[in-house]
Amino acid sequence: MYEDSTKDLVSWMKVLFLTALIVLAGRQFLIQPLSVHGESMMPTFENDDKVILNKISRIENFDLIVFDAPDDHKLIKRVIGLPGDRLEMKADRLYINGELVEEPYLTHNRKVARQKGHSYLTEDFAEITVPAECYFVLGDNRLQSVDSRMFGFVPKEAVLGEVKFRFAPFEYLGAVE
């Protein structure tokens, strides 16, 4: 009887060890939970929203990423420019590689900006080219966002992952688009 108990205990310890190993490996290399801090992405994300990052995503224009900022904070922003993209902002309109690109996620913030007396949500900037191995990022709440307009391009190695899923608050549970 003592032998069976010992075998059961060893079996359970193996299962628990393997489970912990899988969870830790997944968190290290595949996904990571994170809390959103600040208002720079409102209304897309509110302060204290909880999200899951995919660490192995291929980043594309308008993806939402988390990265280590120059001041050692983790920031969440929208990727506007990929390596090699030419970007320009004229009269609150974004041009990527010379073509006008709609930004429907800014509709609410444009209304708020006008209510506060601002002509534009995003100030003009002359054409820039995103360097290799870098991204140009902007917050959705551009009047309150510290982003590539202030600190420059985000190196690929600073990117922690792409935001794929929100798990809190519960009413917004689901995939992030």
CATH number of 2-167: 2.10.109.10
pLDDT tens per residue, range 150-159: 999 999 999 9
Residue 17, pLDDT score: 57
- 175 or 96: whose pLDDT is higher? 96
Q: Is 5 a catalytic residue?
A: no
pLDDT tens per residue, range 106-130: 999 999 999 999 999 999 999 999 9
* Cα(41)–Cα(65) distance, integer angstroms: 11
Q: Decide the pairing of beta strands 64-68 and 159-168.
A: antiparallel
User: In the numeric block, which tokens belong to residue 177?
Assistant: 């688009």
Judge if the upstream peptide bond of residue 33 is cis by omega within 30 degrees of 0: no
Of the residues 50, 77, 145, 156, which is catalytic? 77
pLDDT tens per residue, range 73-111: 899 999 999 999 999 999 999 999 999 999 999 999 999
pLDDT tens per residue, range 12-36: 666 665 565 455 544 554 578 888 8
Q: Which residue has the tokens 């794929």?
A: 164
Q: Is 40 a catalytic residue?
A: yes
pLDDT tens per residue, range 30-78: 578 888 888 999 999 999 999 999 998 899 999 999 999 888 889 999 9
Q: Could you state, in order of their start, the residue ranges of all structural domains in the chain?
A: 2-167
Chain centroid offset of residue 3 CA: 52
Of the residues 5, 40, 50, 148, which is catalytic? 40
